[in-house]
Structure formats: structure tokens, C-alpha cells
A and B are shown apart, each in its own frame.
Chain A
Amino acid sequence: MDNIVGTKSRLVWVVNLSALALVLLWLFPTFGLLVSSFRDRDQITASGWWKAMFPAEQTLQYRAPGAGDAVDENGVFVISGNVFEGGRGSVKSFGTSARDPGAFPAGETVPADDGADLTVLQNGDFRLTSATEFEGRRGMRIFVTSVTPPRFTFENYGRVLGAEGLGRAFLNTMTVSIPATVIPILVAAFAAYALAWMEFPGRALLVAGVVGLLVVPLQLALIPLLKLHNEIGLGKSYLGIWLAHTGFGLPLAVYLLRNYMVGLPREIIESARVDGATDFQIFLKIILPLSFPALASFAIFQFLWTWNDLLVALVFLGNTQDQLVMTGQLKELMGSRGGDWEILATSAFVTIAVPLVVFFAMQKYLVRGLLAGSVK
């Protein structure tokens, strides 16, 4: 007996540890993205997100002003300024050649091009002196290896929502997702009640038909359906995509809700009938409140699916500003700003914000509704 108990507890440990490992595996990169979304481009290139809390060492190129800004100080020509241009930082070392950007420690005076001398102080002030006049419109390059303090910013979010057009796309996605979640639930709840509790010939066949539809890939229907929309004058519009999402979501919705409703106690419904309630009253007053977990779990599914959907949106909606959904906008950003991690990380967080809220607000119904619907 001791043996068995021992095995069991060890198994529990294994399960818990693997769950923990999986959670960490998912959370770790997500957290990294979150941190990155608050850092600016220079910091991201200079150091990894796990170093975000520490001062970062990075090598910058600063271009000194051209000959036009030189000042004549008693026969010596001087160009001066600050390599941080007013920003904060501290120079560790500097150089005049890209091949060896950290050649000299801060504070030293070293020979630069064309007989000039260069000094860079720790606070970033530099002084370029020459006995002869400077030439050229473009000044020389000064490379500094600097230590910049950690900095976090909301600029990325402002930029993504405004200039990069994600704000508008966010609203478009909302316009698609909310009706595309509500309409199928309304239709499916009625249908599920009828299939579960109303006696009529061919009911079993209809249920079988719905189950059969579950396995039809929606990709098959895309072009013919769009053709139909074009012929009846819907074209590429929000109404079109609501109808499409409704159609694609209905089989699962009807199946899930019907299975749940069949499991409700027959006695309640029959006693209501005896008391003279009509089918509509039974549906509204008894079935609907009792089916809330199933409705909620389907709503989460449908909402997440329409929120993350790209394929259906690409087909049934145009790609103008007022119709482009967030997944489409993200895809565009990947193309045009594929190397800008701060933009992509920020976009990712804007995208997952709503699904996260929906999931945490309704997750207690998710498991309950699913289990109740499938395991009878």
C-alpha cells in the first residue's frame, strides 16, 4: 500500500514539474517581448532584454559638425560639441576609425585626420582642434563606446497605434469580431434547443448533418462564397465577413450547445411544459440561463478565432484603411518593418491584449462548458 501511495506522489511531482516547465517555456519569451516593447531601438540593438535593468554599453557613431561650424580661437580652429547631443550617458572610450572604435580612453587627446587633434571627455564633450582651417561640409566621424542608463518608454506604443496604423486596425478587428461572435451564438442557441428538445421528423438526420459539416474545410468555400457575395451585391464588406464567420462557426456552435442542452435535466423542462410554458418561454427562461457556461465557452472560442483570423479577412474584406484588420496590418508591418523589433514586439502586445482580457474574464466557464458539452 505504501508503495502505491509513493508512486502516486512521485507522479504528481512529475506532472507539476512538467506543467511548471511548460508555463515557463511560454512565459519566458513572452515576458522578453513585453520588456522589449518598452525599450527603444538603440537599446534593443545594444543589449538583450534580460539586461534591460542595467546600464548598457554601446558603440555609437557621432558625426561632428562640418567646417561651417568651426570657430577661430586665436589662430586655432576649433569644432566642439557633445556626442550625446544633450542626452545622458558616459563615455568609456572613443576612436576615430570604424575599425577600432574604442581605441582611446575618455579624456585623452589624440591625433585625428588632416592634422587635427581630438579630445572626448567622459561627459561626452568633445573638442576638435586644428592649426589649419577645416574643410568639407560633412564633419568627421567620432566613435564612442558609452554607458547609457536603462530607460523605458511608451513611445513605441504611441507610434504603433498612431503612425503605423494599428489603432485603426484594432477598431476594424473589433468591428469584425464582436458581431461575428454574437450572431452565431444567437442562431446556434435556437437551433440547439430545437435539435435537443423539440420532437420533429428528421431531427437525428439534421444533427448528423451538422456533425458532418464540422469536418468540411472552410477553405473550400472561400471563393464560391465571395462570388456569391459579389453577385448579390454584398461585395467585400463587413456584412459579408459577419455572414462568412457566422457560417463557418455555426456547425461547431450548434454541436456544442446541443450536446450541452441535451444533458439538462428532462424533469425541469417537462414540468415547465406541464405548467403550460411554450417552447419559446422554456428556451428563454430555463434553457438559456442554464446553458450559460456552454454559451460562454463557445463565445471565447469564436471570439479568439475571429480575432486571430487572417485568411477569412483577406478574402472577404478589402485592404483599405477602413477595412484592414489587425492581423493584416501586422503582416504588412512584418514586411515593411521586419527588422524593427521594438515595433513588432509592441504590435504583438497590442494584439494579444484583448484576447488575454477575454480569456481571464471568462476562463472559469471555458473548462466547465467544454466538459459539460462533450462528456455526458
Chain B
Amino acid sequence: MKARMMAGAAMLALIAGGAQAQDLKFTPGEDARFHWDSYEAFGAAHDLSGQSLRIDGPWGGIDKELFQSVIAYFEAATGADVEYTGGDGFEQRVMIDVEAGSPPGLAVVPQPGLAADLAARGQLAPLPATTADWLRENYAAGQSWVDLATYAGADGQEALYGFFYKVDVKSLVWYVPENFEDAGYDVPETMEDLRALTDQIVADGDTPWCIGLGSGPATGWPATDWVEDMMLRVNSPADYDAWVANDLKFDDPKVVAAIEEFGWFARNDAHVAGGAGAVGSTDFRDSPKGLFQFPPQCYMHRQASFIPSFFPEGTFVGEDVDFFYFPAYADRDLGRPVLGAGTLFVVTEDSPVAQAFIEFLQTPIAHEVWMAQSGFLTPHKGVNTETYGDPTLRKMGDILLEADTFRFDGSDLMPGAIGAGVFWTGMVDYTAGGDAATIAAEIQRTWDSLK
């Protein structure tokens, strides 16, 4: 235990050290897995010495160090000076900054809804038309990424405003393989199996799930991911799109059915560690810890690909803990739907160096440098997947590629008052014992009042 903690501390020290020395993580030209030619070509085409760029975004902590390691390559290639100042509270900060007239050069936006809002206020510079063509050609499901980043500007003219970089897969269930082995459980392939496994674990006298919705002022968001995943598993993708656009009403029986699917897992005292009453109050960062206790408090935890950051120190993903695809119903014929999210770069203050950075993100090397480290998935088809730093990332990438349907996190696309408001609180009320139809009707009423 102690040695592990020391290893954790040593890793932290390494990361901290890396932040100060802004040198390149991988020496250009050395590792043949990387597309160094794209790096050389980009550097030859752009000379931006003496120019500077400020990027703001939501990534703090380890993600910040990783992104800075990518920036280092841009700086080395072009001679430009780039500063990333992101961290917590980005959503408020970027609003203050653009309103007060001191916007960053580029902003990394986690919700397309926020980017659309900024575009409508006339605070974003549109990307050149060639970027949209590039996306269609080089990103898997390119058109959907273009659609997600196309908004109406202040003049009502639609244009591409954002460039997606770094995506997350949300349809994952985390488990400890050795606990499954000890108990003799198999990874379920279908939703029917998953439900059967849940019942099986209960019958064996254990608790199958750890679910926590707590997240300070954003409490409730993990439940919206559950409902969205369920939406894709009981309804067609077209229904999902209609739901996000509110063409399918929130209190439609189809949506209520998806909420109740989630309720089957979360509202049963026997299914959740600590009982259904603990779901709303357990912090989402604390909830996976039940997997790692002995005897285990729970066997499964459904959460997006970022959650390993909150696992106990020294946990090796792929060995100590692993994940499987949150399966779909075998008898509903809806394929393998995958729910995901992503961050998009928008130009908040137009300059040659900002546009050059967006071009840099189109080079395979900008993706490979981060892929080779950790916590990065990309829909870029031109990258060498050999560069993925660990096999689990590749496995997630496969889930992304094998998906029949990929849908973006619906709550991020809905208006803020819904997707970052009553949808969250409504789901907390639901887990506390509220009636699904009543809560859905209330959310729909709020949505109506926005129109």
C-alpha cells in the first residue's frame, strides 16, 4: 500500500516537473508510430514567431498538463507563444471575458449549447468553409460533427464555428474483473443479460451498482447521462434527435419510459449501494470507490471515459479495473448506440495565429501526442491508432468505431435552463421517489416557457 502511494507521489512529481519544462514529450522524428511528416509540413507552412495566443478552456489539473504538452509542439513548429489558462469555472469566465471585451484567442467549449449562444451574440469568428469539408472527409461520422458545430451567427447566417477535438465515450460500465471472476460473473453482452446479472448479484446477497449524482451545483448530471443512454436503447435515434430539439415532448411516453428504465436500476434499494436514498446525495467522484472496497460495495459503475481520474491512486485501468460497453437490448433492433461528448475549439478573437492553431488541430500529430499519453479519444481517421498510450483507450476507440449510432450528450445540446437546470434537478427528484410522468411534465412546462 505504501509503495503504491509512493509511486503515486512520484508520478505527481513527474507531472509537476513536466509542467515547468516546456519541452517536447516525444522527440520529433524518433518514434515511427507518429505522423512526424505532418508536424514538419505544418511547421514549414507556418511561421508565426513573435505572435501570441491565449486559450481558455475547462481543462484543469492533469488534462491541463496534457494539453500543454500538445501546445508545446505548436510552439516549436511555428515559433508562436501560446498560453493556456483554463481551469474550473470556464463557462462563467468566458462569458465575462467576451462581454467585457477581453476575450481569449481561442476557447475550448464543452457544451455546443454554450458555443451556439456565443455565436448568436456575435462573439465568435466563423471557420473557413474548407474546414467543414475537411471534417466531413477526415472525421468518422464527419457530417454529424459539422452539424453539431454549425450555428446561426448574430446576423442569422449559419456557419461552422467550432472544431471538435477530444471526445469522450459515455456508454461505459466499469467493473473490477477479479471481483467478477471471484463471483463467477460474465460480462453481459445485452441489456437483458445486464438486467439478469443485476438480479443475480442481488440474489447472491451483494449490491450490483454504485450510482452517485452529487456534483455541487451541477448535482444530477450523471442521471441525465443514464436517461440519454436509455433513450438510445429503447427509442430510435430519430426519436432521440427529436427529443433533444423538443419536437418530441419531454413528457412523451417514450421519454418517460427511458426515465423509468433508469429508475429500474437506481430506484431499487437492493440495486444500489447505500440504497436508493443515497443516490442523490453521493458525490459522483466518490461513488466509484465502492468498486474498490473489500468486500465490494458494488460490482458495476456506469460512467464516462474520464472517471479513472477519480479511482484510488495506483489503480491500473485494464488490470485492476476494466470496462465494458453499456449494452443495448437484443430484441429491440436498435444496433449498438453510443453516447458521447466532446470539446470544441471556437475562435473568440480572430487572428492568424488562432486560425493556424485550428489548422494545427487538423494534423494527425496534434491528436497522436495526446493519444500516446492518456485520456484522449479522437474521431480523426488519419491518425495511427497504434499510438494510443494504453490498450484501454484503444478499446474505447473501438467502441466508438463499432457504434451503429453515435449521439452527443443531449443535455449539453438542450437550452441551458433545461440541460443544465431542470433536467438535473428533475432527475434528483425522480431518484428521491418522484413520479416520472409528473417530473417529465414539469420539465416540459419549463421548456414551453422558454419559447
Q: A residues near B, CB below 8 A?
A: 40-42, 45, 59-62, 84-87, 97-101, 138, 141, 143, 159, 162-163, 222-223, 226-227, 229-231, 235-236, 314-315, 318-320, 324, 328, 331-332, 334-336, 338-339
Contact residues in A for B295 (Cβ distance below 8 Å): 98-101
Residue of chain A at shortest CB distance from B284 = A338
Additional A-B contacts beyond A141-B178, A226-B102, A314-B96 (7; CB < 8 A): A41-B313, A61-B292, A222-B96, A324-B87, A332-B60, A332-B88, A339-B285
Choose one: A99, A227, A331; the contact of B89 (CB below 8 Å): A331
Contact A320 B85 (CB under 8 A): yes
Docked CA distance A62–B178 (Å): 13
Chain B residues near A141 (CB-CB < 8 A) = 178
Contact, CB under 8 Å: A226 / B96: yes
User: Known: A42-B1, A227-B101. Contact between A61 and B283, CB under 8 A?
Assistant: no
Residue numbers of B with Cβ under 8 A of A are 1-3, 5, 9, 12-13, 16, 60-62, 83, 85-89, 92-93, 96, 99-102, 176, 178-179, 182-183, 206, 216, 283, 285-286, 289, 292-296, 309-310, 313, 319
The reply to whether B102 and A236 contact each other, CB–CB distance below 8 Å, is yes
Please tell me if the beta carbons of A335 and B178 are within 8 angstroms of each other in the complex: no
**24 intermolecular pairs with C-beta atoms under 8 Å apart:** A41-B5, A59-B293, A60-B1, A84-B1, A85-B2, A86-B2, A87-B1, A99-B179, A101-B294, A101-B295, A163-B16, A226-B100, A227-B101, A229-B100, A315-B96, A319-B85, A319-B93, A328-B88, A331-B89, A332-B61, A332-B87, A335-B61, A336-B60, A338-B286
Interface centre among B12, B16, B182 (most CB of A within 10 A): B182
Cβ 8 A contact of A62, one of B1, B89, B102, B309:
B1
Find B289's partner among A163, A229, A230, A339 (CB 8 Å cutoff).
A339
Number of A-B contacts (CB under 8 A): 108
Taken together as a complex, chains A and B put the C-alpha atoms of A222 and B99 apart, in Å, by 11
Assembly CA distance A338 to B61 (angstroms): 12
A328 to chain B, nearest CB (A): 8
Q: Complex Cα distance A236/B88, Å?
A: 18
Q: Are B3 and A85 in contact (CB under 8 A)?
A: yes
Question: Complex Cα distance A330/B261, Å?
Answer: 38
**In the complex, which residue of chain B has the Cβ closest to the Cβ of A318?**
B85
In the assembled complex, how far is the CB of residue B126 from the closest CB belonging to chain A, in whole angstroms? 24
Cβ contact of B182, chosen from A84, A99, A231, cutoff 8 A:
A99
CA of A335 to CA of B292 in the docked complex: distance in angstroms? 21
Q: Which of B12, B89, B179 counts the most chain A CB atoms within 10 A?
A: B89
A262 to B2 Cα, complex, angstroms: 65
Chain B residues with CB below 8 A from A230, complex form: 100-102
Chain A residues closer than 8 Å to B216, beta-carbon distance: 334, 338
Q: Are B101 and A231 touching (Cβ within 8 A)?
A: yes
Q: Which of A98, A229, A314 has the most CB of B within 10 A?
A: A98
**B89 and A143 within 8 A (CB):** no
Query: With contacts A99-B295, A163-B13, A336-B61 known, is A227 near B85, CB below 8 A?
Result: no
Question: Which chain A residue shows the least CB distance to B84?
Answer: A320
Closest chain-A Cβ to B309's Cβ sits at a distance in Å of: 8
Residues of B within 8 A of A42 (CB): 1, 5
Docked pose: A124 CA to B1 CA in angstroms: 12
Rounded to whole angstroms, the CA-CA distance of A258 and B293 in the bound complex is 62
Q: Which 10 A-B pairs have the closest CB atoms?
A: A226-B100, A336-B61, A101-B294, A339-B285, A338-B285, A332-B88, A97-B182, A59-B294, A335-B88, A230-B102
- Do the beta carbons of B60 and A335 come within 8 Å of each other? yes
Given the complex, which residues of A lie within 8 Å of B16, measured CB to CB? Answer: 162-163
Q: What CA separation (Å) do A85 and B1 show in the bound complex?
A: 7
Residues of A within 8 A of B176 (CB): 98
Smallest CB–CB gap between B446 and chain A, Å? 25
**How long is the Cα–Cα vector from A60 to B292 in the complex, in angstroms?**
10
Q: From residue B165, how far is it (CB to closest CB) to chain A in Å? A: 21
Residues of A within 8 A of B83 (CB): 320
Distance from B182 Cβ to chain A, minimum over Cβ atoms (Å) = 5
B110 to chain A: closest CB distance in Å? 13
Closest to B92 in A: A314
Q: Return the chain A residue nearest B3 by Cβ.
A: A85
**Min distance, Cβ A155 to any Cβ of chain B, angstroms:** 9
Q: Tell me the minimal C-beta distance from A248 to chain B in angstroms.
A: 16
- Return B94 CB to nearest CB of chain A, in Å: 11
| A331:B88 contact, CB within 8 angstroms | yes
Task: Knowing A87-B2, A332-B87, A338-B285 are in contact, say whether A99-B206 is a contact too (CB < 8 A).
Answer: yes
Closest to B104 in A: A318
How far apart are the CA atoms of A334 and B284 in the complex, in Å? 12
Chain B residues with CB below 8 A from A100, complex form: 295
B85 adjacent to A98 (CB under 8 Å): no
